[in-house]
Each structure stands twice: as C-alpha cells, then as structure tokens.
Amino acid sequence: MDTLLIATHNTGKVREFEEMLAQLGITLKSAADFDLPEPEETGTTFTDNALLKAKAGCEATGLPTLADDSGFCVTSLMGRPGIYSARWAETEAGRDFNAAMVRVNEELGEAEDRSAYFVAVLALVYPDGREEIFEGRIDGLAVWPPRGNKGFGYDPMFVPSGYNMTFGEMESAEKHKISHRALAVQQFVGYLKAKAA
Ligand code: IMP
C-alpha cells in the first residue's frame, strides 16, 4: 500500500493520523483532497458507520480507504449516546457539548453504575472489496460536574480507569497514549507491519 485515503474532512483527525502513521512511509490523502461528499451516518453500529464511510471513499477514489467512527457509551444508558454522540450535541445554534453532557448526567439521575467507555472503530476497505476492522475501547467513569477544558466532546466528564483526572484535564499527549482512538490505530499499524513483514 503506497497511498491511503483517510475518509474524513476533520483536519484534526487527519493530522492525528499523519502523526501516528508517519513511521510507515505511506502517502496519506484526505477527503478534502478529492472534494468528497460526507456520507450520512445511517448505520446502527460504529462498525456500520465506519464501513459506509470507508466504502464511499474507496468507491469514489479507487484508493484503499480508512474511515473511523467513535463515541461515548454509558453502561446505565444502555450504551447511549454511542453512535449518536455528536447528534446529542446538536442544537439550533450549532454543536453544544455542555448541553450533551448535561443530558447524559440527567439521564443517569441517581444511577449507581456510572461506568462508561469510549469506542473507536477503524474500517479499512480495499478497491477489491476486502474489509478489515480495528477497534479500540477505554473504560472509565462518567463524573459530574465536568472538569477541564483541554479535550473536546465528552472529555470533561470522563475519568479513565486508573486515573484521577478527566480526559479534559489531561495533556493531549497523555490522552493519546491511552485513548480508544490510539488503541485502534495501534492495531491498524500492527496489521500493516505484519503484512509488510
Ligand atoms: P465521529 O467519530 O466523528 O462521528 O464523532 C463521534 C463523537 O463522539 C464526537 O463528536 C464526540 O462527541 C464523541 N467522541 C469521540 N471520541 C471522543 C473523545 O476522544 N473525547 C470526547 N468525545 C469523543
């Protein structure tokens, strides 16, 4: 594999992938390089959504394509917001993750079990139709009130197991060592290295 399409318009994600995949000597292209439309996330699982984004990118460009889908899952809420994590933040005025965190906390109410986790799924699709899935997950607790302003999304209300700080209080380098996304990318890198060996 010489060239890989990262099927996202999110420049932050593209940069993260560039950093994490730099060691592999693969040329990375992004959805913006091809002016690709963003497919609607109509799947019912993280894997469905990652796959539909990767397939759309691969069909449009003919390149092996990697796409991701991720979210915040709360055990007592039966895994919600899950694939709807971004949608819970949608308001008429734009995305508001404070409002989304308030909703999570309100729905939790007096629940004793405040365990929660982040999931990231990466889907790799080849032009010949082959598919590979890589998944990362980090467990922890949904805390209240939110703390820290370093991360994004639900970071301020998530304390990973074995830590006292929320993701919102952690330096990004620290978070990127243990995050769901980092774990999924590590698996992907391991797969590529094994293939090249
Ligand atoms: P998507 O993967 O771009 O569809 O976004 C999923 C949503 O999940 C994001 O908008 C965030 O709300 C949430 N999310 C995913 N990963 C993280 C994370 O590392 N920290 C905080 N929120 C996250």
The pLDDT, as a whole number, for residue 1 is: 81
Residue 20 has pLDDT above 80, yes or no: no
Nearest CA to ligand 1 atom 13: 71
Model confidence at 10, pLDDT cuts 50, 70, 90, reads: confident
User: How much of the chain, in percent, has pLDDT values that exceed 70?
Assistant: 100
Residue 43 has pLDDT above 80, yes or no: yes
Q: How far apart are CA 177 and CA 181, in angstroms?
A: 9
Residue 123 has pLDDT above 80, yes or no: yes
Residue 104 has pLDDT above 90, yes or no: yes
Model confidence at 146, pLDDT cuts 50, 70, 90, reads: very high
Q: Which residue has the higher pLDDT, 39 or 11?
A: 39
The catalytic position among 33, 35, 68, 69 is 69
How remote is the CA of residue 23 from the centroid of ligand 1, in Å? 25
- Per-residue pLDDT, averaged over 52-58, amounts to 97
Model confidence at 148, pLDDT cuts 50, 70, 90, reads: very high
Hey, what are 150's tokens?
């370093």
Question: Which atom of ligand 1 lies nearest, measured to the CA of 41?
Answer: 4
Is residue 166 lining ligand 1, measured as CB closer than 6 Å?
no
The pLDDT, as a whole number, for residue 72 is: 98
> Looking up tokens 């290295």, which residue turns up?
193
The pLDDT, as a whole number, for residue 93 is: 92
Q: Among 16, 44, 70, name the best residue to mutate to test ligand 1's pocket (greatest count of ligand atoms within 8 A of Cβ).
A: 70
Nearest CA to ligand 1 atom 15: 71
Nearest CA to ligand 1 atom 11: 153
User: Do the Cβ atoms of 104 and 155 come closer than 8 Å?
Assistant: no
Task: Note if 69 is an active site residue.
Answer: yes
Q: How far apart are CA 103 and CA 123, in angstroms?
A: 30
Question: 173: Cβ–Cβ under 8 A, 6 or more apart, which residues?
Answer: none
User: What is the DSSP code (8-state) at residue 81?
Assistant: B
Helices and strands counted in the chain (H then E): 5, 8
Q: Structural domain boundaries of the chain?
A: 3-196
User: Do the Cβ atoms of 156 and 167 come closer than 8 Å?
Assistant: yes
Q: Determine phi and psi for 102, rounding to 5 degrees.
A: -60, -40
The pLDDT, as a whole number, for residue 13 is: 80
**Mean of pLDDT over the chain:** 94
Is residue 154 lining ligand 1, measured as CB closer than 6 Å?
yes
Is residue 82 lining ligand 1, measured as CB closer than 6 Å?
no
Domain 3-196 class in CATH: alpha beta
Q: How far apart are CA 126 and CA 63, in angstroms?
A: 7
Question: Which atom of ligand 1 lies nearest, measured to the CA of 175?
Answer: 19
Task: State pTM to two decimals.
Answer: 0.94
